[in-house]
Amino acid sequence: MKKLSINYAVNASQQSHINLSLVFNYIRNSGSVNRSRIAKDLGLSIPAVSRIVETLGESGLIIKQKNDMGTARKGTLVYTVNPLYGFVLAVDLFSIQTEAAVVDFSGQIKFRKKGFKPEESSDVIRDLNDLIDKCISGFTDFSNTTKDKIKAICLGIPAIVDRNTGKLTLSYYEDYESVDFKNVLEHHSGIPVFMENISSLSALGEKRYGERNPEETLVLVEIGAGIGSGILLDGSVYRGNGFAGEIGFSLTESDDVAFLGRKIGHLEKKASLSALKGSILHELSCGVVSTLTPLFHTNPSSITPHMIFEHALNRDNLCLMAISTMVRHLSTALHNMAIIINPDAIIIGGDVCSMPGATELLLNPIKERLAMSLPFTPPEISYSSLGSESGILGAATLAIDSILHNEYPYHRKVSQ
């Protein structure tokens, strides 16, 4: 959500609402905090903070509890967002098998449901409505909660999403571009629906819930069947004119400026896991000898990226060279991203993180190349700490932020 600054005089009522919003968002971002810390960091008096937290507590948005950890004295009252105030439904439409999850306001996944495989669906709206209905009914039965506690739905979609119209472009699944997801799903469920590019949501999830990434400016690059990225600038998703972050379309060789590709970008053709498999199959078909050769002759379709990484760990030359090609193209693209954006961190996510020896074969060589090529200290580069959860948690974050933003829009950046 865009953070608002104040540059004009306000009356007492407006100032009271601004302070209420500042305190609420400070508590959200802190996890749990006592009155003294709130007052000190936001420049408010303790009596003013006391009145505000009482108001927020009466609304059900926050709860107070005795502190048993952290910097505050043990037993001190601290305030935290009430996780049971409401729930959101987060949906990842880019997984091999779609997934929906009910998430509370503290970011805890309370119920999840696997759904259809996008590539096999003949009617994505029918299958998506079915997944949403089953997830909501499963959660309400399991938790003895009513449906009205589901405040919003957020879809993570492998496409560029126009936030004003909901129109999709550059979708990984081309058929999605003709589907009016937002209006159709809102009509069916009666619940507000939000949508965002899944890589941007994964970056948002890492920012809010990742173990090592409190940074305000970061880039998350997802490497799987395709390659996408999400960019956070000053803690917010950056879209540029709508297409920022489409790293899969990066050109990594000087003679590729004339490359034509609308659905699959140049980098995806060179450095995705699909490209890795395609490259190995092509070389094997040309007679290149590998420890994968016997399998290629009996069942070539069974060769997977996971196998290729395994054989590379066992020093198979063909597999090592193919992964080295991935590293070269990815390093070039990340070098350019680092030069232009200069993020605090670059996070690698997607299926590549689960490949055998991915750190030794991919991550460390990329780090070494960037250390040599960049004219400054490279940003921290690491694998996603949330793994496949980042997209779901990012979707939940966007849904919660979206429904709270109109009521509580004001933030203040506080040095920790």
What mean pLDDT comes out for the span 26-34? 87
Residue 236 is predicted with a pLDDT of 83
What mean pLDDT comes out for the span 175-198? 92
For residue 277, the surrounding DSSP H or E stretch is helix 273-285
Q: Is the pLDDT of residue 226 over 90?
A: no
Strand, helix or coil for residue 396: helix
Residue 3 is predicted with a pLDDT of 55
Range with lowest mean pLDDT among 134-138, 332-336, 403-407: 403-407
**What is the token pair recorded at 117?**
């495989």
- Residues 79-86: contacts with CB under 8 Å, at least 24 apart: 79/27, 79/32, 79/33, 79/34, 79/35, 79/38, 79/53, 80/27, 80/31, 80/32, 80/33, 80/106, 81/27, 81/28, 81/105, 81/106, 83/108, 85/60, 85/61, 86/149, 86/150, 86/151
- pLDDT tens for each residue of 73-119: 556 789 999 988 999 999 998 777 899 999 999 889 999 999 998 88
Q: Is the pLDDT of residue 69 over 60?
A: no
pLDDT tier, 7 (very low <50, low <70, confident <90, very high otherwise): low
C-beta atoms surrounding 293 within 10 Å: 14
Residue 414 is predicted with a pLDDT of 61
What mean pLDDT comes out for the span 300-326? 97
Residue 214 is predicted with a pLDDT of 56
Residue 396 is predicted with a pLDDT of 96
Residue 14 is predicted with a pLDDT of 85
What fold does the segment set 211-385 form as a domain? Answer: Nucleotidyltransferase; domain 5 (3.30.420)
- pLDDT tens for each residue of 235-268: 788 888 778 888 998 988 866 666 565 667 889 9
CA distance 14 to 388: 42
- pLDDT tens for each residue of 389-402: 899 999 999 999 99
Q: For the chain, how far is it from start to end, CA to CA, in angstroms? A: 21
Q: DSSP readout, 183-226?
A: HHHHHHH-S-EEEEEHHHHHHHHHHHH-SS---SSEEEEEESSS
Domain covering 12-81 assigned CATH 1.10.10.10 in the classification? yes
Q: Is the pLDDT of residue 155 over 70?
A: yes
In DSSP terms, 156 is beta-bridged to 92, 196
Mean pLDDT of all residues belonging to the chain:
88
In DSSP terms, 103 is beta-bridged to 88, 109
Name, in order, each residue with C-beta under 8 angstroms of 183's C-beta and a sequence gap of 6 or more. 166
Cβ(323)–Cβ(357) below 8 Å: no
Residue 176 is predicted with a pLDDT of 86
Cβ(210)–Cβ(384) below 8 Å: yes
Residues of the chain with CATH 3.30.420.40: 87-201+391-405, 211-385
* Side-by-side strand order, sheet with 109-114: 109-114, 99-104, 87-92, 150-157, 193-197
**What is the token pair recorded at 396?**
């939940």
Cβ(24)–Cβ(42) below 8 Å: no
Strand, helix or coil for residue 44: coil
Name, in order, each residue with C-beta under 8 angstroms of 233's C-beta and a sequence gap of 6 or more. 216, 217, 341
For residue 349, the surrounding DSSP H or E stretch is strand 345-349
Is residue 280 classed exposed, middle or buried when 0-12, 13-18 and 19+ CB atoms within 10 A define those classes? buried
What is the number of H-type helices and E-type strands within the chain?
14, 14
Range with lowest mean pLDDT among 276-285, 317-326, 399-408: 399-408
Cβ(349)–Cβ(390) below 8 Å: yes
Place of tokens 């080295």: 324
Residue 209 is predicted with a pLDDT of 86
Residue 172 is predicted with a pLDDT of 74
Q: DSSP readout, 111-129?
A: EEEE---GGG-S-HHHHHH
Stated pTM of the model: 0.81
What mean pLDDT comes out for the span 343-366? 94
Residue 87 is predicted with a pLDDT of 96
CA distance 397 to 239: 17
CA-to-CA dists, residue 340 to 197, 201, 243, 335, angstroms: 21, 21, 15, 9
Residues of the chain with CATH 1.10.10.10: 12-81
Residue 175 is predicted with a pLDDT of 83
Closest CA to 369 of 338, 340, 341: 338
- pLDDT tens for each residue of 105-154: 988 999 999 999 888 889 999 999 999 999 999 999 999 999 999 999 99
CA distance 263 to 248: 10
Higher pLDDT, 14 or 365: 365
Residue 5 is predicted with a pLDDT of 54
Closest CA to 130 of 188, 81, 83: 188
Residue 99 is predicted with a pLDDT of 93
Query: Can you state the angle between helices 317-341 and 364-373, rounded to 10 degrees?
Result: 50
What mean pLDDT comes out for the span 214-240? 86
Level-2 CATH architecture, domain 87-201+391-405: 2-Layer Sandwich (3.30)
Q: Is the pLDDT of residue 211 over 60?
A: yes
**What is the token pair recorded at 191?**
């619940």
